[in-house]
């Protein structure tokens, strides 16, 4: 079955824009929940780039990489949210800068 | 026409992602994150990757975002939570997500009514090819992903268990007259 061709440059530009948005979110926000959401946005943008490449060459490898990214994102979010709960319990705040004790 | 669908979905994705990182309220940001993920799933469909699009909706929007929501709600136990929930669910905040999702819904209606978008070149990679490759040459990666998920499961249980235990003690102490 054939599907319409979308210029891969545009898809990659969209992926780059989404990635930069996630990066800006990580750099600007100090709330841990928003940091994690920005990380999800960045991983999703990577997945979009992989899917675009896989669609360009008509190979399933891009989708497999996307699935591995999905597994990574699920694992990361499970552990990170556990850390968020601990952060809230110890420091009574969701600000990532309150947990800067090791930074000296 | 499919190109127009792609650009509309891309615009929705960019707009909702920009709204995610600028919201002050975590619950509002999560709703916009769901919209962003749905529009990226539309783009996956248009790129000929229907299995990845389904996974995007089921796992990202369905599981990961719900996990976020659980934690956001859990962090607001206590007296303030009722007041906060009232502030979160003001009618005005549904307008933005509804407009963006409405655009995606109109796109879906168009595709259903007009039939499949015009076919030119390009190939669709269906679930069968993906599954064959996944459990063929990528079998080792699947095993590694399974081990990663097991480690994450144990880690999340370990980190969350003490938190829940403390909360339970606190609440039982509070309930005692």
- Using the structure block, give the residue that is written with the tokens 């079998």: B139
A69, A43 contact by CB (below 8 A): yes
Per-residue pLDDT of B6-33, as tens digits, reads 899 999 999 999 999 888 888 888 999 9
| pLDDT at B79 exceeding the cut of 70 | no
Give B139's contacts in chain A (Cβ within 8 Å): none
Question: Reduced to 3 states, what is the DSSP secondary structure of residue A100?
Answer: coil
Mention every residue, 6+ apart, whose C-beta is less than 8 A from residue A68: B141, B145
Distance from CA of B21 to the nearest CA of A (A): 5
Confidence of residue B78 (pLDDT cuts 50, 70, 90): low
Facing residue for B49 by CB, picked from A31, A54, A85: A54
Distance from CA of A16 to the nearest CA of B (A): 11
In this complex, is the C-beta atom of B46 within 8 Å of any C-beta atom belonging to chain A? yes
Q: Report the Cα–Cα distance between both ends of chain A, in Å, rounded.
A: 60
Q: Which secondary-structure segment (H or E) carries B119?
A: none
Distance from CA of B23 to the nearest CA of A (A): 9
Q: Among candidates A81, A44, A70, which has minimal Cα distance to B17?
A: A44
**For B137, which DSSP code?**
T
Distance CA B48, CA B165 (A): 47
Structural domains for chain A: 31-94 (1.10.287.3510)
Q: What is the pTM of this model?
A: 0.84
């Amino acid at each position: 079955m054939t599907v319409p061709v979308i210029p891969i440059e545009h898809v990659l530009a969209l992926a780059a824009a989404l990635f930069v948005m996630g990066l800006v979110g990580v750099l600007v926000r100090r709330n841990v929940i928003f940091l994690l959401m920005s990380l999800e946005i960045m991983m999703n943008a990577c997945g979009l780039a992989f899917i675009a490449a896989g669609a360009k060459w008509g190979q399933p490898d891009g989708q497999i990489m996307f699935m591995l990214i999905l597994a990574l994102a699920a694992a990361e979010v499970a552990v990170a949210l556990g850390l968020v709960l601990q952060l809230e319990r110890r420091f009574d705040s969701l600000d990532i800068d309150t947990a800067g004790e090791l930074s000296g | 026409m499919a190109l127009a669908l792609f650009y509309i979905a891309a615009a929705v994705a960019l707009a909702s992602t920009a709204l995610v990182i600028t919201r002050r309220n975590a619950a509002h940001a999560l709703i916009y994150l769901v919209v962003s993920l749905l529009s990226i799933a539309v783009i996956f469909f248009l790129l000929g990757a229907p299995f990845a699009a389904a996974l995007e909706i089921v796992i990202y929007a369905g599981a990961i975002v719900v996990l976020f929501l659980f934690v956001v709600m859990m962090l607001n136990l206590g007296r303030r939570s009722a007041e906060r929930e009232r502030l979160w669910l003001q009618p005005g905040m549904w307008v933005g997500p509804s407009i963006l999702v409405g655009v995606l819904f109109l796109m879906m209606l168009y595709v259903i009514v007009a039939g499949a978008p015009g076919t030119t070149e390009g190939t669709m990679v269906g679930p069968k090819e993906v599954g064959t490759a996944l459990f063929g040459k990528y079998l080792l990666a699947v095993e590694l992903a399974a081990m990663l998920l097991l480690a994450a499961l144990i880690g999340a249980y370990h980190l969350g268990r003490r938190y829940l235990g403390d909360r339970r003690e606190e609440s039982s102490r509070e309930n005692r007259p």
